[in-house]
């Protein structure tokens, strides 16, 4: 089941290059946003200090570093993610079943007693890849949707909790993997707003209705003249 409260379903992407900028954004969203995504840019710039800064404000972290390496290396990274106390982290499903299983098991084993283990999420087919790239460059014969469903099934068999999915993939994944599968959806755009470089977008309400547990929103909030007003509008949009 998705979290009940709208504020528990919204994850704001802190796609900034320095801790000061992340702190300034969180100041503006204080009291509204409870979950933030830290990706490779901010983590490369300032490391675990970014995670600690979010936690200090009482919010939760989705550590979006998309681990992809041999199983023992990814297990080590997943262990550190669990020790940092993030609520969710992700790995590339194309690292294979053994790699994903090692990540999920290591994160569970490293979770301190009494704490909740982080959700382990798979990245299936990057939304920047289309059918032509998948077939000609990566030599994957199936359709994008077929490959997404295949990799998500593999992730579930490996013990992962869910996957990242673009808005159009939510319904087939929900049908294929059932209600318990956690779906995390970026590419969310309020009606009439700038799609930026996202091509397969949906409104927050449509993504939530289609069955996304979590909505990842970056620029519609972080680049808005009034980020708090933008976040408030999205929370209203996904209210039952
Ligand atoms: O600014 P915007 O709302 O487009 O930000 C979406 C966030 O979700 C970015 O941090 C982007 O890296 C991330 N993301 C994505 N598509 C994926 C996986 C992650 O847009 N398939």
Query: For residue 222, which atom of ligand 1 is closest to its CA?
Result: 1
Quick one: pLDDT at residue 128?
84
Distance 226 CA to ligand 1 centre (A): 20
How many CA within 13 A on the CB side of residue 236?
A: 7
* CB of 153 closer than 8 Å to CB of 175: no
Integer CA distances (angstroms), 83 to 36, 100, 117, 132, in order: 17, 18, 10, 40
Catalytic residue among 28, 55, 66, 176: 66
Per-residue pLDDT tens digits for 172-226: 999 999 999 999 999 999 998 888 887 778 999 999 999 999 999 999 999 999 9
Residue 239 lies in a domain: no
Q: Where does 68-132 show beta strands of DSSP type E?
A: 88-92, 119-123
Per-residue pLDDT tens digits for 4-29: 899 999 999 999 999 999 999 999 99
CATH number of the domain encompassing residue 204: 3.20.20.70
Q: What pTM value is reported for the model?
A: 0.96
Quick one: pLDDT at residue 1?
75
Distance 13 CA to ligand 1 centre (A): 7
Query: For residue 165, which atom of ligand 1 is closest to its CA?
Result: 21
Query: For residue 128, which atom of ligand 1 is closest to its CA?
Result: 21
Quick one: pLDDT at residue 197?
83
Distance 183 CA to ligand 1 centre (A): 14
Residue 127 lies in a domain: yes
- Within 8 A by CB and 6+ apart from 137, the residues are none
Residue 181 lies in a domain: yes
Residue 47 lies in a domain: yes
Per-residue pLDDT tens digits for 42-90: 999 999 999 999 999 999 999 999 999 999 999 999 999 999 999 999 9
Residue 40 lies in a domain: yes
Query: For residue 197, which atom of ligand 1 is closest to its CA?
Result: 4
Distance 15 CA to ligand 1 centre (A): 9
- How many domains, the chain? 1
Query: Would you call 37 a catalytic residue per the annotation?
Result: no
Residues with CB under 6 A from ligand 1: 13, 15, 39, 126-127, 164, 186-187, 196, 198, 216-220
Domain enclosing residue 138, as ranges? 6-234
Residue 86 lies in a domain: yes
Residue 11 lies in a domain: yes
Residue 91 lies in a domain: yes
Which residue do the tokens 């209705």 mark?
209
């Amino acid at each position: 089941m998705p979290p009940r409260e709208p504020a528990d379903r919204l994850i704001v992407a802190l796609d900034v290059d320095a801790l000061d900028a992340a702190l300034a954004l969180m100041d503006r969203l204080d009291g509204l946003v409870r979950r933030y995504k830290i990706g490779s840019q901010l983590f490369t710039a300032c490391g675990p200090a970014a995670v600690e800064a979010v936690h200090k404000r009482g919010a939760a972290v989705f550590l979006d570093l998309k681990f992809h390496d041999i199983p023992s290396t990814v297990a080590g990274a997943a262990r550190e993610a669990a020790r940092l106390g993030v609520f969710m982290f992700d790995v590339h499903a194309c690292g294979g079943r053994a790699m994903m299983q090692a990540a999920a098991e290591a994160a569970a084993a490293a979770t301190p007693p009494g704490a909740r283990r982080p959700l382990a999420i798979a990245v299936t087919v990057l939304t920047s890849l289309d059918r032509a790239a998948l077939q000609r460059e990566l030599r994957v014969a199936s359709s994008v949707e077929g490959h997404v469903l295949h990799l998500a099934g593999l992730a579930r068999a490996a013990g992962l909790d869910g996957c990242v999915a673009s808005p159009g993939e939510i319904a087939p994944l929900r049908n294929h993997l059932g209600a318990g599968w956690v779906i995390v959806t970026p590419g969310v755009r309020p009606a009439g707003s700038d799609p930026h470089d996202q091509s397969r977008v949906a409104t927050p309400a449509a993504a939530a209705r289609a069955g996304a547990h979590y909505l990842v929103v970056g620029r519609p909030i972080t680049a808005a003249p009034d980020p708090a007003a933008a976040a408030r509008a999205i929370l209203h949009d996904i209210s039952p």
